[in-house]
Structures are given as structure tokens and as C-alpha cells.
Amino acid sequence: MKLIITDIKNPNFNISGEHQIISPQRDIKPCIGCFACWTKTPGECIIRDGYNKTGITMGKCDELIIISECRYGSVSSFVKNVQDRAISYIHPCFVIKKGEMHHKRRYFNTLKLTAYFYGNDITEEEKENARNLMQSNVDNYNGELGKVYFYNSKEDLEGIAL
Amino acid sequence: MKIAIINASPKTRNSNSELILSDLKHYLNDQCEIIDTKLSYNCAFNRVYNEVKDADSWLFAYPLYVDNMPSHLLKFLEWLSDNKLSTKRNIYAICNCGFYEGVQAECAINVVKFWCNKTGNVFSGGVGVGGGEAFDALKSVPVGYGPKTSIDKALGTIAQAIATKSTTSSKFVNLDYPRFLYKIGATGRWHKLIRKNGGKVKDLGRQLT
Ligand SMILES: Cc1cc2nc3c(=O)[nH]c(=O)nc-3n(C[C@H](O)[C@H](O)[C@H](O)COP(=O)(O)O)c2cc1C
């Protein structure tokens, strides 16, 4: 399955195959840093606003597609909020991988992450940071990085084939 | 010289950011006037902005979340820039990681730098602190000593830059404490927490469908 996380409210993409879209259809609450998703209700966030099960969905996917405005070399705050609320995809305990500390797996799927960033004034440095960020994310998700694209505007993404 | 210190940990209390900031304040001493404020998950942006708007410099202290800053801080930065609310200030950043390596905070420090570039603020230095989860256990260790030596040295350097309204290069620092022991300590804490919540150690890896 493909999981698409986007800050575009009413996305119009041309998506093939089984998929789920997370977009700002309703308000999302920020993570409060309580770690309950690891130690109280392992696997699920305790804030019940409809964005509490993303970690579970990620465990069922083989593709993760992020479509976001690029803000200061980052994903936008909505996409980041969904990510923060989904750390239960991984296990709290640490492992050392490629000489750095990361997390153990909870699920055994491999996510391939593809990212589409948009914005009219994304600098080269910001693009590099956004790419590095996506690489760090897949290192922590134990996934693989696919392509990272940059578009000049949200409109350029209309009808894109995913 | 007025510096606003914004603790942007989402937690309303007992954050590791707070403990790191207390070491930073030791170095700031009384070299400048400090406005101390919080940007927890539930704070109104307007109120926080009104508290800090008279300061010449701002320092954001925040945890590393998914290799980046927490979303509520990113939203605050978006809000400030969309409303053209900050420019020409010196901006400092301290990001603490749960992971051992401070360098994992590099992207998250850069986001503050690029925000400065977009808004006409002056990015004036950052510190990526590794092993942030150890600070609670190090409360009784004097500033600048033991496992905190290298981290506190970097905090001292950024404090000097803050006090003189100058710019310093960003630094990424680790605990002076072996990584494998930090890792064992963390595992022990997760085991304790799940048991406290009535679960078993194996529940930490529970798979939901
Ligand atoms: C949603 C979430 C995501 C996190 N992601 C990371 C991460 O990517 N890398 C890391 O080193 N630590 C990560 N952490 C751990 C925090 O950075 C660490 O616990 C930090 O010390 C918390 O600081 P605070 O008490 O000031 O909020 C994450 C924690 C949470 C709650």
C-alpha cells in the first residue's frame, strides 16, 4: 500500500493501486512529548484526533510519499506534525547502525520514501537540507530513499501520477 | 542587551531543554537581561510573541523530533514569517537529541538558519546537543564537569556570543560518557516505564494491525 502525507487540503493526484492519503482535512494536535505511544499504548498515539494511527498505517505500507511545501529546508508544519505523531512506527530501544544511534524496528516492512516539495523560492541550500532530512528520516524508518523532487508551485503538482 | 530564551520543548514541565538552558544561564551569568519563556505544545503564539518582542536576540531551545524541530515550533516560525513579525534579530538555536550524536541535529539547526535567511534575521550560531536524555541524571553534576564537560563548553561559547550580540559557528557535541552505557541506560528507562504503566517489556515492541 502507498501512504501519502500531504499538506495540500484537497489533493488532486493520479494515484495507482491501494493507497491512503493523510491531508489537512481536520485539525491536528501537536505531539506533547509524553512517549505514551511507546510505553502506555505501544504502537498508537494517545491523542484521539484522527491522526493517532499513522504509525500503524506506516507498518502496512511499502511506499511513503511526502508532498509538502518546502519551508526553510524542511517539510511544512502540517506534514511534520503527522510525522511527530507517528513515531510509534519504530521501537523505542536504540541500535547502532552505520556508526550512529537509531531505533530498533517495530514492523518489518521496508518503506520507500519519495518526496515532492513545492515552493517558489527554495534555495539550493534548502534543497540540500530537505534531501538530507529525507535521508535521515529513512535511516530512522529503516527504509530506502527514492527520488526527492522540487516544484515551483503547488499547481505544478495537479494531476501528478503517483 | 536583552535576550529572550524560548524553551520550545512541547513538554509543559521537566524538559531536558530546561536543564540544558540552566547550564547556559550559568554562563550568561548577569551579562544580559533575560526574558525567559516557554513555547510548549499548548501556548498561544500571540502571547509568546508579545513576551519576546522587545528582545534584541532570541534563543530557541528545542528537542530533535524526527530529525527536525517539533512541529509546533515550525508552525510558530511559519506564523512569524507569514505575519512578518520578526526581522533583524540575532537568533541562536540549541537542539537536544535523544540520540547520542549531537550532529544528528544538524538539519534541525539549519531550519532555523534558513528561516533567518528568509525573514531577514541574523542566524548567530547553534549547538546540537547529543544525549539529551542523560541531563536528568546529571542534575547534581556541577556545570562544566564530568559527562557534561564538552556540552557545557559549547554552551559557554554560545553564551559568550549571546552576551556580545555576535555570531559563532555552530557546534555539535556529545556527552563525555560512553555511548554503550548511554544506550543501556535508555533501555533500562523504557523497561521501567512500560512496567510502571502495567505492561510487560515485550509490549514495547507490540505490533498493531
Ligand atoms: C515525536 C518524537 C520524535 C523524536 N525524534 C527524535 C529523533 O529523530 N532523534 C533523536 O535523537 N531524538 C528524538 N526524540 C527524542 C527527543 O529529542 C529527546 O527525548 C529529547 O531529550 C527531549 O527533549 P525535551 O525534554 O527538551 O523535550 C524524539 C522524541 C519525540 C517525542
Residue A59: exposed, middle, or buried by beta-carbon count in 10 A (0-12, 13-18, 19+)?
Answer: buried
pLDDT of A143 reads: 97
Q: CB-CB: which of A44, A55, A94 is closest to B186?
A: A94
- pLDDT band (50, 70, 90) for residue A119: very high
Most ligand 1 atoms within 8 A of CB, residue of B7, B65, B94 to mutate: B65
pLDDT of B132 reads: 98
pLDDT of B5 reads: 98
Q: What is the number of the ligand 1 atom nearest to the C-alpha of A83?
A: 1
Distance from CA of A161 to the nearest CA of B (A): 27
- pLDDT band (50, 70, 90) for residue B30: confident
Average pLDDT, chain B: 97
Q: Does A107 touch chain B (CB under 8 A)?
A: yes
pLDDT of B54 reads: 95
> Looking at the predicted structure, is the pLDDT value of residue B47 above 90?
yes
Average pLDDT, chain A: 97
Distance from CA of A133 to the nearest CA of B (A): 6
For residues A14 and A161, is the Cβ–Cβ distance under 8 A?
Answer: yes
Q: What is the mean pLDDT of residues A36-51?
A: 98
Q: CB-CB: which of A84, A93, A126 is closest to B204?
A: A93
pLDDT of A13 reads: 95
Chain A neighbours among B 178-207 (CB < 8 Å)?
A: 179, 183, 186-187, 190, 193-194, 196-197, 199, 203-207
pLDDT of B209 reads: 92
Centre of ligand 1 to C-alpha B153, Å, is 22
Interface test with A, best of B12, B42, B45, B67 (most A CBs within 10 A): B67
Q: Which residues, listed in sequence order, are joined to residue A114 by a DSSP beta bridge? A: A65
> Looking at the predicted structure, is the pLDDT value of residue B29 above 90?
no
> Looking at the predicted structure, is the pLDDT value of residue B1 above 90?
no
Distance (Å, rounded) from C-alpha A143 to C-alpha A134?
A: 10
> Looking at the predicted structure, is the pLDDT value of residue B145 above 90?
yes
Share of chain B above pLDDT 70, in %: 100
- Give φ, ψ of A99 to 5 degrees: 75, 5
- pLDDT band (50, 70, 90) for residue B157: very high
- pLDDT band (50, 70, 90) for residue A145: very high
- pLDDT band (50, 70, 90) for residue B20: very high
pLDDT of A48 reads: 96
> Which residues of B are less than 8 Å from A100 in CB distance?
99, 101, 104
- pLDDT band (50, 70, 90) for residue B89: very high
SS3 A88: helix
> Looking at the predicted structure, is the pLDDT value of residue B147 above 90?
yes
Interface test with A, best of B43, B100, B111, B196 (most A CBs within 10 A): B111
- pLDDT band (50, 70, 90) for residue B2: very high
Q: For chain B, give every domain's residue range.
A: 2-177, 179-209
Q: What is the mean pLDDT of residues A129-153?
A: 98
What's chain B look like in SS3? CEEEEEECCCCCCCCHHHHHHHHHHHHHCCCCEEEEEECCCCCCHHHHHHHHCCCCEEEEEEECECCECCHHHHHHHHHHHHCCCCCCCEEEEEEECCCCCHHHHHHHHHHHHHHHHHHCCEEEEEEEECCHHHCCCCCCCCCCCHHHHHHHHHHHHHHHHHHCCCCCCCEEECCCCCHHHHHHHHHHHHHHHHHHCCCCHHHHHCCCC
Domains of chain A: 2-157 (3.40.50)
**Fold category of B2-177 in CATH:** Rossmann fold (3.40.50)
- pLDDT band (50, 70, 90) for residue B173: very high
pLDDT of B86 reads: 85
pLDDT of B195 reads: 97
For residues B90 and B57, is the Cβ–Cβ distance under 8 A?
Answer: yes
Closest CA to B34 of B69, B17, B58: B58
Instruction: Please state whether A50 falls in left (phi above 0), alpha (psi between -120 and 50) or beta.
Output: left
Q: Does B54 touch chain A (CB under 8 A)?
A: no
